[in-house]
Amino acid sequence: MQEDWMIARKEGRAGRLTFNRPKALNALDESMAFTIEQALDAWRDDPEVKLVIIDAEGDRAFCAGGDIAAVYKAGRAGYPQVGAEFWRAEYRMNAKIAEYPKPIIAFMQGFVMGGGVGVGGHASHRVVGESTQIAMPETGIGLIPDVGGTLILARAPGRVGEYLGTTGNRIGAADALYAGFADIYLPEARWPEVIAQLAESGEASVIPRGFQPEYKGFLADRRPEIETIFGGKDIATIVAKLENLPTKFAAETLATLRRNSALSEECTLRLVRMTRAVPNIREALSNEFRFTLRAVEHSDFLEGVRAQIIDKDRNPQWAYSLDTLPEALVTKLLAPLPREWEIDFDA
């Protein structure tokens, strides 16, 4: 690991955190999560730091997700605890961002996926631009939307969270604002000057407001269909509804759900609804950890990572289809954890 993959420093009245791994689309590993956490801890009571700015080098990605290759390799070698420790560290950092007492401003260009949402999506001020593409694509690798993603999905309008969480579909800036993944649209050409103003003033109020995305999103127009479809009690019911709808949107959504892990989709659906009932960051992360702690040994995760990231054959052989998915396994993956296994968010 390179020490400069996550750069932490003070600049003016700001704490600065910059992803600096552009060739890997700024993928987040455990050491980078620790760097973020340690910096936030150091700046919490530092009178010189009035706010925190998180940005990234490179045009292609703010952060395209967690670096899970090491988790995969350790899991294949019989060491599932490597994944558990990675997620434990990452989730603790996610919670600190969400609960931070000072403003955190995230500038999210390009791909913002998975672990990137866990960093930028919980900031107090979430800025997107014309290149932003946000997704929680975990059901495509046999995982579930985590890093507190189920909290954002649970707070999305209507059933939009169920739709985005189970399909993993990407959304641009307009839909990110609509779904609650972002707060502010700002043309990316303005970002350097605004970051400089933030560092100089220490005031989040200098961020310009009033700009609108050039391109319209699709979620608002699709809301009636999304509400009809994704109110189903389980994935099997949702798929049955899609099979009976003659629209292009229904056909595309059905193809996506049939391509992803049925086990992950069903668990995602339940996790979003569990979090909607108790919508706070620690509850969301704790519920997600129920699945991810067990994922290496009991889910489609290893096969999904093999197919999408390791071998890249894009042909995962999921353990279960929608027709064969066992309720007992879903229940097992989402069962409460023993107290000694839970995350200590105050560590």
Residues annotated as catalytic are 66, 115, 138, 146
Q: What is the distance between the terminal CA atoms of the chain, rounded to a whole angstrom? A: 24
In the chain the beta strands, taken as DSSP E runs, fall at 6-11, 14-19, 51-56, 61-63, 104-108, 111-113, 125-128, 133-135, 184-185
**Rounded distance between C-alpha atoms, residue 280 and residue 152, angstroms:** 10
Q: Output phi, psi for 131, to 5 deg.
A: -95, -5
| Four-CA torsion 328, 329, 333, 335, nearest 10 degrees | 10
Residue 116 tokens read as: 């990137």
**Rounded distance between C-alpha atoms, residue 101 and residue 83, angstroms:** 29
Q: Output phi, psi for 169, to 5 deg.
A: -65, 150
Handedness of CA 242, 243, 245, 248 (dihedral sign): positive
* Exposure on the CB side of residue 17, measured as CA atoms within 13 A: 30
Handedness of CA 192, 196, 201, 204 (dihedral sign): positive
Strand order in the sheet with 184-185: 6-11, 14-19, 51-56, 104-108, 125-128, 184-185
Could you identify the residue written with the tokens 């401003």?
A: 105
CA distances to 51, 55, 103, 106, 212 from 184, rounded to whole Å, are: 17, 15, 14, 10, 9
Residue 168 tokens read as: 């993993």
Kindly tell me the burial class for residue 328, based on how many C-beta atoms sit within 10 Å of its own C-beta (0-12, 13-18, 19 or more).
Answer: exposed
Residue 207 contacts residue 105 (beta carbons within 8 Å): yes
